[in-house]
Amino acid sequence: MHDALAGRSLTHTDFRVPQLATTDLTGREVSEVVSHGKHMLTRVRGDLTVHTHFEMDGSWHLYRPGTRWTGGPAWQVRIVLANDDWQAVGYRMPVVELLPTAEEHRIIGHIGPDLLGEWDHDEALRRLRSKPAREIGPALLDQRNLAGIGNLYKAETLFLSGVTPWTRVGDIDDLDAVVRRARKLMQANKNHWQQTTTGSLRPGADHWVFERSGRPCRRCGTRVASAVQPEPGRERYERISYWCAQCQAGPGP
Ligand SMILES: [Zn+2]
């Protein structure tokens, strides 16, 4: 996104959300595009930032003018930012808003170190360890601790680390290694569309436990377990956890 848009003027913009329906940034130059976790900030000269958030299903696609858009049906397009050479199309974005660049801290100020951005390993560990009684599954998903881990990388990191998602943060011997593993998995996948944690890009062979509920563990053959893992006060963020009770030590639901 940064390579395609930064340093160039927008020649066409289309905000397909009601509150920005009349917004037009044509003629303005994009200064940079940065990400913080699932937040994407497209900074436009004149103290303006286009903020989008991916949530579960959103995505940005880049197309050359004249090529077909393939990111989904047209009604799922929320925003288009284009220059002479590129069209950036945002699909299924639950958040599309415009704000002064100087006020970005309102959105990202609380977010922890970004596994794919400016990374501060010790700070991420400090934030995680500040709540030792918390279960590691939800703690890894909490963007206030560290930004970027979704449910897939949570499940796979914990499988490879040999601890269940219900293990308390304070009970994990080598939390440092857990965080390093999460970052390594994400870094390994950042330049391609598929997300593999096993090293295989073959569909069905690309994950250890994520979305493999009831199927045999690739290491020991035990059926992969799954359960919703809620957390008091954060029900909105509740996700399904997947794990192998044989390969991963610690409590279950
Ligand atoms: Zn197993």
Model pLDDT for residues 190-219, shown as the tens digit of each residue = 888 788 999 998 888 999 999 999 999 999
* C-alpha 247 – ligand 1 centre gap (Å): 4
Task: Give the per-residue pLDDT at 139.
Answer: 97
* C-alpha 125 – ligand 1 centre gap (Å): 27
* C-alpha 158 – ligand 1 centre gap (Å): 12
Q: Is residue 249 part of a domain?
A: no
Helix (H) or strand (E) holding 51: strand 48-53
* C-alpha 245 – ligand 1 centre gap (Å): 7
Q: How far apart are CA 97 and CA 95, in angstroms?
A: 6
Task: Give the per-residue pLDDT at 80.
Answer: 98
* C-alpha 246 – ligand 1 centre gap (Å): 5
Residues in contact with 183: Cβ distance below 8 Å, sequence separation at least 6, in sequence order: 115, 119, 121
One domain, residues 185 and 74: no
Task: Give the per-residue pLDDT at 38.
Answer: 84
Higher pLDDT among residues 52 and 54, named by residue: 52
* C-alpha 183 – ligand 1 centre gap (Å): 22
CATH of the domain at 129: 1.10.8.50
Identify residue 198 by its one-letter amino acid code. T
Point out the domain boundary residue: 108, 129, 146. Answer: 108
* C-alpha 177 – ligand 1 centre gap (Å): 20
* C-alpha 208 – ligand 1 centre gap (Å): 9
* C-alpha 224 – ligand 1 centre gap (Å): 7
Helix (H) or strand (E) holding 3: helix 2-5
Helix (H) or strand (E) holding 63: strand 59-63
Quote the number of domains for the chain. Answer: 2
* C-alpha 243 – ligand 1 centre gap (Å): 8
One domain, residues 143 and 67: no
* C-alpha 165 – ligand 1 centre gap (Å): 14
Where in the sequence is the domain holding 48, given as residue range(s)?
Answer: 2-108
Q: What is the DSSP letter of 45?
A: T
* C-alpha 157 – ligand 1 centre gap (Å): 14
Mean pLDDT of the chain: 94
Do 80 and 14 touch, CB atoms closer than 8 A? yes
The band of 148, judged by pLDDT with boundaries at 50, 70 and 90, is confident
Is residue 10 predicted with pLDDT exceeding 80? yes
* C-alpha 253 – ligand 1 centre gap (Å): 17
Mean pLDDT of 129-135: 97
Using alpha carbons, select from 226, 215, 234, 121 the residue that is nearest to residue 166. 226
Q: How far apart are CA 238 and CA 253, in angstroms?
A: 13
Place of tokens 């360890």: 129
One domain, residues 85 and 139: no
Residue 65: other Cβ atoms inside 10 A: 12
Model pLDDT for residues 25-48, shown as the tens digit of each residue = 999 999 999 988 889 999 999 999
Q: Is residue 252 part of a domain?
A: no
The band of 112, judged by pLDDT with boundaries at 50, 70 and 90, is very high
* C-alpha 211 – ligand 1 centre gap (Å): 14
